[in-house]
Chain A
Amino acid sequence: MSAWLLMLPAVLLMAAGFLYPVALLARISLNRTNDMGAMEPAHSLETLGRLVEDEFTWELAWNTATLAASSALMATALALPVALLIRGAAPRWRGLLSLMAVAPLLVSGTARIVGWMAILGDRGLINAVLAGLGLAEEPLRLINNWTGVRIGLVESLMPYACLVLIAGLGRLDARLEEAAATLGATRFRTFLRVTLPLAAPALLAAFLLTFVLGVSAFVTPRLMGGGRVFVVATEIFDLALETVDWPAAAAMAMLLLGALAAAMLLRGLLGRRAA
Chain B
Amino acid sequence: MRRALIAAIASMALALPAAAQQVGGRMTLQAYAGIFRDNYTQVVVNPFTSARGTQVQYHDGGTSAQMLGTLRAQKADPQIDVTIMDVTTAAIACAEGLVERIDASVLPVIGELDQMARDSGGACGPAVTYDHLVMIYDTRSVTPAPTRWEAMWDPAQRGRVALSAPPNIQGLALTAILAHAASGNWRNVGAAMPRLRELAPNVQTFDPNPDGYTLILNDQVRFATGWNARAQLYRDQSQGRIGVVLPEEGTAFQVNTINLVAGSKNRQQALAFMAHALSAEAQKAFTERMYYGPTNPRAQVSAEAMGRTALAPEFRNRVIPLDWNEMVRLRDNWNQRWRREVIAASGR
**A adjacent to B, CB under 8 Å:** yes
Asked if A242 contacts B343 (CB within 8 A), the reply is no
Asked if A141 contacts B348 (CB within 8 A), the reply is yes
On whether A244 and B92 interact (CB within 8 A), knowing A121-B220, A122-B159, A122-B204, the answer reads yes
Asked if A241 contacts B220 (CB within 8 A), the reply is no
One digit per residue, 1 when the CB lies within 8 angstroms of any chain B CB and 0 when it does not, for chain A 213-226 equals 00000000011011
On whether A227 and B205 interact (CB within 8 A), knowing A110-B210, A121-B220, A240-B65, the answer reads yes
Complex-state Cα separation, A228 to B346, whole angstroms? 9
Asked if A243 contacts B331 (CB within 8 A), the reply is yes
Complex-state Cα separation, A36 to B87, whole angstroms? 12
> Chain A nearest CB: distance from B310 CB in Å?
24
One digit per residue, 1 when the CB lies within 8 angstroms of any chain B CB and 0 when it does not, for chain A 182-223 equals 000000000000000000000000000000000000000011
Complex-state Cα separation, A34 to B65, whole angstroms? 16
Complex-state Cα separation, A238 to B206, whole angstroms? 13
In the complex, the number of residue pairs spanning A and B with C-beta atoms less than 8 Å apart equals 79
The answer to whether the Cβ of A144 comes within 8 Å of any Cβ in the partner chain is yes
The answer to whether the Cβ of B168 comes within 8 Å of any Cβ in the partner chain is yes
- Residues of chain B contacted by A226 (CB below 8 angstroms): 204-207, 348
The answer to whether the Cβ of B183 comes within 8 Å of any Cβ in the partner chain is no
- Residues of chain A contacted by B159 (CB below 8 angstroms): 122, 139
- Nearest residue (CB) in A for B95 is A38
Q: Is the interface of A mostly helix, strand, loop or mixed?
A: loop
Identify which of A36, A113, A141 contacts B92 (C-beta below 8 A).
A36
- Nearest residue (CB) in B for A34 is B95
One digit per residue, 1 when the CB lies within 8 angstroms of any chain B CB and 0 when it does not, for chain A 234-251 equals 000010111110100000
- Residues of chain A contacted by B69 (CB below 8 angstroms): 240, 246
The answer to whether the Cβ of B229 comes within 8 Å of any Cβ in the partner chain is no
Identify which of A110, A122, A244 contacts B89 (C-beta below 8 A).
A244
- Residues of chain A contacted by B165 (CB below 8 angstroms): 227
> Chain B nearest CB: distance from A36 CB in Å?
5
One digit per residue, 1 when the CB lies within 8 angstroms of any chain A CB and 0 when it does not, for chain B 182-215 equals 0000000000000000000000111101100000
The answer to whether the Cβ of B143 comes within 8 Å of any Cβ in the partner chain is no
- Nearest residue (CB) in A for B168 is A242
Asked if B206 contacts A37 (CB within 8 A), the reply is no
Considering only residues 327-348 of chain B, those with a C-beta below 8 Å from chain A are: 328-329, 331-332, 335-336, 339, 343, 346, 348
One digit per residue, 1 when the CB lies within 8 angstroms of any chain A CB and 0 when it does not, for chain B 2-42 equals 00000000000000000000000000000000000000000
Pull 27 A–B residue pairs with CB atoms less than 8 Å apart, ordered by A. Answer: A36-B91, A36-B95, A36-B329, A37-B88, A37-B92, A38-B95, A39-B92, A39-B96, A117-B220, A122-B159, A122-B220, A144-B205, A144-B348, A222-B207, A222-B209, A223-B209, A226-B205, A226-B206, A227-B205, A227-B206, A227-B207, A228-B206, A230-B339, A240-B65, A241-B65, A242-B168, A244-B65
What is the interface of chain A, defined by CB distance below 8 A to chain B? 34-39, 56, 110, 113, 117, 121-123, 139, 141, 144-145, 222-223, 225-228, 230, 238, 240-244, 246
What is the interface of chain B, defined by CB distance below 8 A to chain A? 63, 65-66, 68-69, 72, 88-89, 91-92, 95-96, 159, 163-165, 167-168, 204-207, 209-210, 218-220, 325, 328-329, 331-332, 335-336, 339, 343, 346, 348
10 nearest A-B pairs in the assembled complex, by CB-CB distance? A227-B206, A227-B207, A38-B95, A226-B205, A242-B167, A145-B348, A241-B65, A144-B205, A141-B348, A243-B167
